[in-house]
Structure 1
């Protein structure tokens, strides 16, 4: 096995395949293609290959060629797919992502394929050559295994666990293996199974219309059978197939009645394969476009005709989605596919209802909360070219064959960035590359475009389309800043709610309207400490404090998931009156129940939306008015459309503005303006109350005036002055190791090499604010360079060479190097 050579045309002789394996390997591996597969094997097909002594993997054929690797290769063991699973464009996209984001093809493969398409080997046990019927000295467990193997030729480890009724079976297996009584066999298992339902259809006695009429004579003595036959004949006229369960439910007949009719050959049972995916069948025409939407639509069409991507900058509630929908209809009606990209799963439920109301089952939703079977079926539907997709960034990896339009909604959102694991890509940027690959139109949309997109529009790379009015003439919400130190009439001060916000909430609920409260921190309180000696409960694996979750009565790390019960006393000084500090969504919800006991309150954060359908149910409850107040994290800021929301409250703007990040002002402005847009979405003006200590902060001034232009121009000047993106590029390199000294030694050595090649473009190494994460000590360094593509390639090649060299140093091979391109 070796790294593949350059592309060659295969004319004759041995054929070789460069195979991508689902491992973080720096290269593809070359295997020989057995003669029986030559001619039928193509790029993009999955093949079973052996890698290392006992491991089998499903790899993807990246390239076929006739260039020998220089030494004897292993053969491909089997071809899994009849047709390629990936398209040529997908493989090229994988190559580009691996190169641009400094990761491996195997890591891109792991991120891109549904888990049921990434097959793994399962150890199968068979009888060995030394087996005989009179083997002595078998203990009871060994005898049970051998006896089972004489009855069936193969057993999986799970089968053996079930037979022995114990979890630990390796000692038994090892004993039998050592005596060669059994042998392991690597058997490849495809976990995907089609979904089948039990159905009913006419049997041999009812093939013709005359036979079906005569069948009533066969059931004349049974009222139940007659009723079933009548119902089936009527129901089957409107349905493509009839389920046994549905027929029994509609007629009240037992399964015995149906079996009796099968015996008479009137019916027969069969299993039908059905799709796990699908949309609403009823398709409705969308409402008429407003003059502003007509104008925006015409401008976008014109820019697309020029071959330019368009940036649609429309205030919240201006009707951007309606413009997207019109363009999507045009593309789908022309027989091409659409990818509608959203930053969060939280948005897909509400958006998909609106899209499927118009597009029906021609568009499907794809995201990580679908089960693996559903994801495989959507994959195959997209590969066939017959369906379009709405989903978060993972939808970028689907095998589009007729892509005509890519829409990136809320393009500014940081959730488009994948932070861990590799590939650490930005979904917005990959979407634009994907559109360019397929020759598809690209449309970005946001009420608060990112500085990168604003600069691209200003420089002419994109074309800018603006929508300055809300649909239907609804006024933008009234925004006020409430001083967090404000007191009530009695002079008392509450740490979470100002009198202004409390009064506004009461008035809003009395009018029959709803409230959204935004707090960008989940849990009850982020710090649990001793007031005497200031000891703080910290994570065992990370250098962060544990967050207290009252509902679970647990302290939990939001970085690694470690959880523990709260201590009863301080281990340092023995103090038993430990205290909580800070505020999370759970605490806000708890306090609201005291001040507004009659209000119906719910939380929308990671803790309350973990289940597959939990988020959708919560949104539905709020949408139909079953809740008065929704407390949430960033989930509540992102494009949700609720017509009854009259008030939005931002609990603490200071937390957003003081974040140690050069993008802090931009993110704070975007979050506050986006969450403000949830108020007054229909025929009434909404109100927004922002609680802050620094009411005169320039960002708050721009939020109050909803002045995007002033904010973005000031932010652009600041970024230009310090050469921050988009006026320069950045790469963050992080070194991780379980020992602090080793991490520091590796960082110093790598930093020395990089500084020699890059000079003052390298900053660091330095210890980040969270110095230990998931038991690993961290060392960071940042490289800044110009936006020229050639410069980026040169810097990345220097990083690759230096990283490879560090791995060869004695004692440092275990240092993990994480390269994050465009990290923030």
Structure 2
């Protein structure tokens, strides 16, 4: 009978608009609880689903299928996490399954088509396995790769997920998808004495007798004895460094059975070598800032904007606040906009907090992420991470630091949920009753407005740390430079002279251009042919080093043509310039300088990024060219000149936030100069020196920028005065996309009136093979109105997508774009 049955509601990591109900077999009822995963069938596939509720009955017309098995003994998420997921689903107009898909590590989202592969040394792990585990492990060792469907056939049972989970936990299997990220465990060779010398100290003199004829082997032995006072296993690299030897010496000692060597997997964070240096004392301004923050927290203010100019030492303030929170037994989440750009911050925190810090981001392997997931649940004190670290299961979160809160990288654009990590962090803090610090030298207009309105507290820090001063910013009029014939390649006379002087003084230079590649377009002089992407309505970017044309939107690549494919003319113009061309031109103009480039092409991996920064820090690079990567996280003593080659590309980007982002970028990149005793200089090249953002950047005048921009935002009904939803209609056929967009706008205008703008064709009319139409909704900052708008929008989209010929249309809603 139905009333004798027990049912559960589950969510799946799929873009489905509802939760699913399943019945629970009697033998599994006692172990069902919120937050565990269960194995469920759906449309001839099996999934690991998450239990979110129990009930005694379901709709009479509904027929519930049985769950197959229970995967977890303990919940993998907390009730607070699920509450966060629900809020994100509702606020950002997405399904709860899409939130779950982003939130959970790969290994916690298994399905029957998931592919499993073996660890390279799988045979070494066959002991201590159950019969079923052994069967599956042996099969994968032979076949190299199998699906979960195939695993069911091998063990001859349907409930295979618990077996797979056990093998994943024992690191015998891996999910194939995680290896697409090209993660390889970091292995390091460790050395120790063999048993003969390790267990009997009296035998150590005999070891020295064996190597008496070799100075290098004797030196290696002495160094090992010195290093091994506190631990047996010593990193081989430490021995190399202390004894000044190479691997041939170690091999000789292995042959004599004195040393044994073992490769061990080490953490990329806990084993990271950092400079041993004490944290500098707080200067009087920093001390006053911390007192003010404490005072506001004690007075009941939960969210505080720390408005500190570049080089004022905000990270030093964070360190004291982190220490205080940890001393209270609470956890700290330190959010950063891009994990690859935070090398120096990670190093600084490691010198203070040693092993009590975890780093979490989406590019880590599944095992690393699950390990930190569990550590967070158990109370890991300090978590440093990018957007995805918001989804960790915190035990007792006391403080969230949102560093560089203005950074657009905090906003996820694809895939859904299209959430702002900054705003989501504020909601997360409410759930845990924790405090929030939003730090920036150039706060977003929304955050500064909230602070001015009293919604957030605000603490200002307008003094640079130590003896450093804000740099002088010189504006160069490119029109005059070209008119007078003063340009040398891409460099004005002022910029070239400044770089020459810096190089003569053994100082370093940053050159900023927010466009990678060699040239943004390839054009024929005769027939005006311009190389276009076949999937997107954009020109292909020339990448000279790779001899390729590339699309920076869809990834399309084509070999660089030697002649025009349309008329056959053999001289093609490379129009404009990106970082690659700038690097080449610098080599011509400054032939004695050591030049490097920091952009997505040269720093695709965190290690490559760190290598470039390490070279720059050791002054092995004189001039560093880069995109916005060089505006964040660089804190070096020797930067004298920062050059912005073309400010206009950023100023005239078709976006209502273009002026704000230009001011932020210029100010942040300028802040890299003169961060120690000597004052730095910034040279900003532009064809429009009278542009208000250029003047405000030159004068370091955030107040003037803020007040002017606020007037424009208010006049044209933009945030922070209004809320926005951007709707993009996509289809492979332009006429279908246009038709759907006009139907949607027609319906919405009847319900919402002038709040609806569009449809219009965006600047890029076709992207990844899909034609686009854009609609904007501007809403008053009224919770009731916003909810009504979302309800109307959601209902209309559902009805339109049910229409004949419209089902293949994609309609994407981006809340707070």
Give TM-score, length-normalised by structure 1. 0.84
Q: What is aligned with 2:627?
A: 633
Q: What is aligned with 1:420?
A: 414
* Matches for 1:353-392 after TM superposition, within 5 Å: 353-392=347-386
Of the candidates 41, 47, 53, which is equivalent to residue 57 of structure 1?
Answer: 47
Of the candidates 334, 337, 349, which is equivalent to residue 343 of structure 2?
Answer: 349
Q: What is aligned with 1:756?
A: 750
Of the candidates 9, 12, 24, which is equivalent to residue 33 of structure 1?
Answer: 24
Using a 3 Å threshold, how does the CA distance of structure 1 residues 472 and 186 change in structure 2: closer, same or farther? same
Using a 3 Å threshold, how does the CA distance of structure 1 residues 669 and 489 change in structure 2: closer, same or farther? closer
Q: Which moved more, 1:629-638 or 1:38-47?
A: 38-47
Output the CA distance in 2 between the equivalents of 1:475 and 1:517: 20
Q: What is aligned with 2:81?
A: 90
**TM-superposition CA deviations, 1:553-603 (whole Å, max 9, x none):** 100000000000123333433332221111100010010000001111111
Q: Verify: 1:580 aligned to 2:574, yes or no.
A: yes
Q: Verify: 1:479 aligned to 2:470, yes or no.
A: no
Q: Which moved more, 1:491-500 or 1:458-467?
A: 491-500
**TM-superposition CA deviations, 1:175-207 (whole Å, max 9, x none):** xxxxx999997854445554899999999x99x
1:661, distance to aligned residue in structure 2 (A): 1.1
Q: What is aligned with 2:803?
A: 809
Output the CA distance in 2 between the equivalents of 1:476 and 1:244: 44
Of the candidates 663, 685, 701, which is equivalent to residue 691 of structure 1?
Answer: 685
Output the CA distance in 2 between the equivalents of 1:396 and 1:802: 32
Q: What is aligned with 2:131?
A: none
Using a 3 Å threshold, how does the CA distance of structure 1 residues 415 and 182 change in structure 2: closer, same or farther? closer
Contact 1:559 1:773 in 2 (8 A): yes
Output the CA distance in 2 between the equivalents of 1:491 and 1:276: 52
1:212, distance to aligned residue in structure 2 (A): 5.5
Instruction: Give the number of equivalent residue pairs.
Output: 760
**TM-superposition CA deviations, 1:373-398 (whole Å, max 9, x none):** 22222222111112311122121111
1:234, distance to aligned residue in structure 2 (A): 9.2
Q: What is aligned with 1:467?
A: 461
Q: What is aligned with 1:117?
A: 108
Contact 1:20 1:59 in 2 (8 A): yes
* Matches for 1:179-198 after TM superposition, within 5 Å: 187-188=160-161, 189-190=164-165, 191=168, 193-194=170-171
1:80, distance to aligned residue in structure 2 (A): 2.0
Partner secondary structure for residue 479 of structure 2: coil
Output the CA distance in 2 between the equivalents of 1:597 and 1:270: 47
Q: What is aligned with 2:495?
A: 501
Of the candidates 96, 99, 114, which is equivalent to residue 108 of structure 1?
Answer: 99
1:372, distance to aligned residue in structure 2 (A): 2.9
1:692, distance to aligned residue in structure 2 (A): 0.4
Of the candidates 220, 236, 239, which is equivalent to residue 231 of structure 2?
Answer: 239
Contact 2:344 2:633 in 1 (8 A): no
Q: What is aligned with 2:525?
A: 531
Output the CA distance in 2 between the equivalents of 1:243 and 1:437: 44
* Matches for 1:369-768 after TM superposition, within 5 Å: 369-487=363-481, 491=485, 493-494=487-488, 496-768=490-762
Q: What is aligned with 1:314?
A: 308
Q: Verify: 1:45 aligned to 2:39, yes or no.
A: no
Output the CA distance in 1 between the equivalents of 2:616 and 2:188: 35
Q: What is aligned with 1:145?
A: none
Q: Verify: 1:331 aligned to 2:325, yes or no.
A: yes
Contact 1:122 1:187 in 2 (8 A): no
Partner secondary structure for residue 60 of structure 1: strand
Output the CA distance in 2 between the equivalents of 1:610 and 1:380: 29
Contact 1:341 1:391 in 2 (8 A): yes
Q: What is aligned with 2:72?
A: 81
Output the CA distance in 2 between the equivalents of 1:181 and 1:48: 18
Contact 1:763 1:782 in 2 (8 A): yes
Of the candidates 280, 289, 296, which is equivalent to residue 296 of structure 1?
Answer: 289
Q: Verify: 1:23 aligned to 2:14, yes or no.
A: yes
Using a 3 Å threshold, how does the CA distance of structure 1 residues 469 and 492 change in structure 2: closer, same or farther? closer
Q: What is aligned with 2:787?
A: 793
Output the CA distance in 2 between the equivalents of 1:620 and 1:197: 21
Larger Rg: 1
1:473, distance to aligned residue in structure 2 (A): 3.6
Contact 1:45 1:83 in 2 (8 A): yes
1:51, distance to aligned residue in structure 2 (A): 1.5
Output the CA distance in 2 between the equivalents of 1:489 and 1:783: 45
**TM-superposition CA deviations, 1:49-89 (whole Å, max 9, x none):** 22111x22222222233332433312222222222111221
Output the CA distance in 2 between the equivalents of 1:654 and 1:609: 26
1:467, distance to aligned residue in structure 2 (A): 1.0
Contact 1:22 1:110 in 2 (8 A): yes
Contact 1:30 1:69 in 2 (8 A): no
Output the CA distance in 1 between the equivalents of 2:469 and 2:13: 52
Q: What is aligned with 1:137?
A: none
Partner secondary structure for residue 31 of structure 2: coil
1:706, distance to aligned residue in structure 2 (A): 0.4
1:274, distance to aligned residue in structure 2 (A): 7.5
Partner secondary structure for residue 121 of structure 1: coil
Using a 3 Å threshold, how does the CA distance of structure 1 residues 430 and 589 change in structure 2: closer, same or farther? same
Using a 3 Å threshold, how does the CA distance of structure 1 residues 433 and 679 change in structure 2: closer, same or farther? same
1:339, distance to aligned residue in structure 2 (A): 0.8
Output the CA distance in 1 between the equivalents of 2:618 and 2:189: 36
Output the CA distance in 2 between the equivalents of 1:521 and 1:772: 21
Partner secondary structure for residue 613 of structure 1: helix
Output the CA distance in 2 between the equivalents of 1:693 and 1:452: 30
Contact 2:337 2:403 in 1 (8 A): yes
Contact 1:457 1:463 in 2 (8 A): yes
Q: What is aligned with 2:129?
A: none
1:354, distance to aligned residue in structure 2 (A): 0.6
Contact 1:25 1:104 in 2 (8 A): yes
1:734, distance to aligned residue in structure 2 (A): 0.8
Using a 3 Å threshold, how does the CA distance of structure 1 residues 569 and 753 change in structure 2: closer, same or farther? same
Partner secondary structure for residue 553 of structure 2: coil
Contact 2:379 2:396 in 1 (8 A): yes
Give TM-score, length-normalised by structure 2. 0.85
Contact 1:124 1:186 in 2 (8 A): no
Using a 3 Å threshold, how does the CA distance of structure 1 residues 85 and 274 change in structure 2: closer, same or farther? farther
Output the CA distance in 1 between the equivalents of 2:189 and 2:34: 37
Output the CA distance in 1 between the equivalents of 2:262 and 2:482: 72
